[in-house]
Structure 1
Amino acid sequence: MTGYFAPQGGLPPQTALMTQRAVFTEAYAFIPKGCFSDIVTSYLPGWDKTRLWLIARPMTGFSETFSQYVMEVAPGGGSDSPDPEVGAEHWLFFTGGVATVTIGGVAHDLDAGGYAYIPAGTPWSLRAEGQGPARFHWLRKLYEPAPGVSSPEPIITSDQATPVRWMPDTGERWGTTRFVEPEDVRHDAHVNIVTFKPGGVIPFEETHVMEHGLYVLEGKAVYKLNQDWVEVEAGDFMWLRAYCPQACYAAGPGPFRYLLYKDVNRHAKLRGPGAFGR
C-alpha cells in the first residue's frame, strides 16, 4: 500500500467533454483530479523552479483553520525561506521524487511516503535533489499555544515506517496511520493517512466539529458528503467544513487511502474571529 497519486498538469484536449464531477456546496467542496490542470497552478515568492495547486485555504463560513498545497518542485528548485507567515506550523507528505528538507539545521532526505512535521517558529528549507520533480503536499496552520503545554518537536518519519492502527471489530479493513499520538495535546491538528481495504466502511455518518481535508492517494470508493454519495478515486480532493456528515464504502478492487487533515485538542474560541461574542 505505497501508491501515491500526484497530478501531472497539462490540459484536456479540445475534444473532451467539459462536464466533470466538481461540486461546491455550503457543506463541502469536491475537486476531482481532472481539475488539476496547468491553468490553475500558482507560484510562490521565495520558491524557485516550483509550481503548486492551492486546494484549500481558510474561508469564513467554511473550513477556517488550514491551507493545503500540492507542490511540484523541479530538480534543483526549492526555497531557503519557504513561508513568511509568523506562527505557522507545517506538514509535508511526499508522493514522489526526492528532496532534502533541512529543519533547524539538520538535513533529511525524503522521498515517496516521507512525512515531516515542522513546528511553528522552526527555520527550514527544501531543495529537490532527484532526476525528476519532488512532489508533496504542504499543509499549513497557525499554531495555537495552550497554557502549560510545551511546543511539539519536529517529526521526520514515513508511511512505510509507521504501522496502520486498525479500528476494533473491523477485521483490519479500516485503519489509520497515525504519525502523532492522539493524546499528545502539544499538537493542535493531525495529518494522518486513512486506509480501507476492499469492503471496509465507515459504518455511521460521522458528524463532528473538526474540519477536514481529504486527498485520495490510492484506490477508489463511494464517499458520503453531507446528503450526497460521491464516487471518488485517486487524485480527488474533498474539503469538509465543520459538522459535514461523512461516511465511506470502499468497494475495491484494491486499497483506498487518503491523506487526512483535522483540527484537534484545543478549546473552542468564545471571543474573537469565528466566535459568537466579543
Structure 2
Amino acid sequence: MITPTYFAPHGGMPGQKELMTSRAVVTEAYTVIPRGVLRDIVTTVLPEWQGTRSWVLSRPVAGGAVTFSQTILEVSPGGGSEAPEPQAEVEGFLFVMEGEVSLTAAGQTHTLTPGGYAFLPPGTEWSLTGQGAGPSRLHWFRKRYQDVPGLTPRIVVGREQDVEPSPMPDTEGRWATTRLLDPSDLAFDMHVNIVTFQPGASIPFMETHEMEHGLYVLQGKGVYRLNQDWVEVEAGDYMSLRAFCPQACYAGGDEPFRYLLYKDVNRQVML
C-alpha cells in the first residue's frame, strides 16, 4: 500500500501585501473554510489542554450543522490533557495527521502516528500527550451520544493503513471508502471515513440526505457541487454541510483526492 499523505495546517500569518480575497464562504446550506484561513490569529486555547492550540472548524450554529464539533489540535511535545472531555455524555474520535501522541483510554496506552485513530465512547476516561521532537496535529470530533437500549459502543483504536478500502459499486475502484468504524455495528451513532477518488473520478449524482457532514481534504484537489454552487477545494480545506445540502464532486489534478468525512448515522429522527 502507498503511504498515505495528510495535509495539516501550521498557522503563520500572511504578509501585509497579500490580497484578502479567498474562497471562504458561509451559507445556510454549507460552509467552506480554506486552508489559508487557518492562521495563528484564529486559534483558541482550551482550558483542559496544556501546550496546545486549536482551530475549531465546526460547532453547532443556527442555520448550520448541529450534531457535532470538529477541531484541529496542535499539541506540543509534552503537552496534552489528563481530562480532555468536559461532558460525560459526549463521545469523541481522534485522527492524527502529523507527529506522534500517546493516548491512554480506559487504562490502556496506545501510540498514534499519522493515520492513527481512536473512537472514545461517552464516559471514557482518557488522556493524551504529545510525543516526539515537534508538534503533533490531529482532528478531534465530538458528538453527544444518542443512547439506544441494548447498544453500547466500544473503544476502537486503529490505523487507516490497516483498513482495506471498500470500492463503491460500478466504479472499478476509482471511488473507495475506508470505513474506520464498523458500519454494521448499530452502537455507533457516527461514522468517520476516508473517501478516496482517483483523478477524474466523481460522485455522479447530487446526494441529498439527512446526514450532516464535516469534510477535511487530506490530499489532492477537486471541485465540489454544494447546493447550487461549484467550489474548488484542495488539501487543507474544510467543508461543513448541513442536513439535506445537495452535494457531488469530481477529482482533479494528478494525485488522489482524499478527505476525512464525518456523518451522523444509525438513529431514529427524534421529534
**What is the TM-score when the length of structure 1 is the normalising length?**
0.95
Q: Residue 36 of structure 2 aligns to a residue in which SS?
A: helix
Q: How much has 1:130 moved relative to structure 2? A: 0.8
Runs ≥4 in structure 1, deviation > 4 angstroms? none
Could you tell me which residue of structure 2 aligns to residue 126 of structure 1? 128
Between the aligned partners of 2:42 and 2:78, the Cα distance in structure 1 is 23
Q: Structure 2 residue aligned with 1:38, among 33, 37, 40?
A: 40
- Count of aligned pairs: 269
Could you tell me which residue of structure 2 aligns to residue 160 of structure 1? 161
Could you tell me which residue of structure 1 aligns to residue 207 of structure 2? 206
Show CA shifts across 1:115-168 (max 9, x none).
10011111000000111111100000011111232x111011011111111101
Show CA shifts across 1:160-213 (max 9, x none).
111111101101110100012222110001011100011110010000010000
Q: How much has 1:251 moved relative to structure 2? A: 2.1
Alignment of 1:92-103 (within 5 A): 92-103=94-105
Q: Structure 2 residue aligned with 1:20, among 19, 22, 39?
A: 22
Show CA shifts across 1:8-64 (max 9, x none).
101000010000100111100000000000110000012110000001001233211
Could you tell me which residue of structure 2 aligns to residue 57 of structure 1? 59
Between the aligned partners of 1:21 and 1:61, the Cα distance in structure 2 is 20
Could you tell me which residue of structure 1 aligns to residue 247 of structure 2? 246
Alignment of 1:1-278 (within 5 A): 2-149=4-151, 151-270=152-271
**What is the TM-score when the length of structure 2 is the normalising length?**
0.98
**2:8 aligned partner, one-letter code:** A
Q: How much has 1:220 moved relative to structure 2? A: 0.2
RMSD: 0.8
Between the aligned partners of 1:105 and 1:129, the Cα distance in structure 2 is 19
The answer (yes or no) to whether the contact 1:197–1:256 under 8 Å persists in 2 is yes
Between the aligned partners of 1:213 and 1:46, the Cα distance in structure 2 is 24
Q: Which runs of 5+ in 1 are unaligned?
A: 271-278
Between the aligned partners of 1:183 and 1:104, the Cα distance in structure 2 is 24
Q: Residue 146 of structure 2 aligns to a residue in which SS?
A: coil
Identity score, percent? 57
**1:158 aligned partner, one-letter code:** R
Q: How much has 1:93 moved relative to structure 2? A: 0.3
**1:74 aligned partner, one-letter code:** S
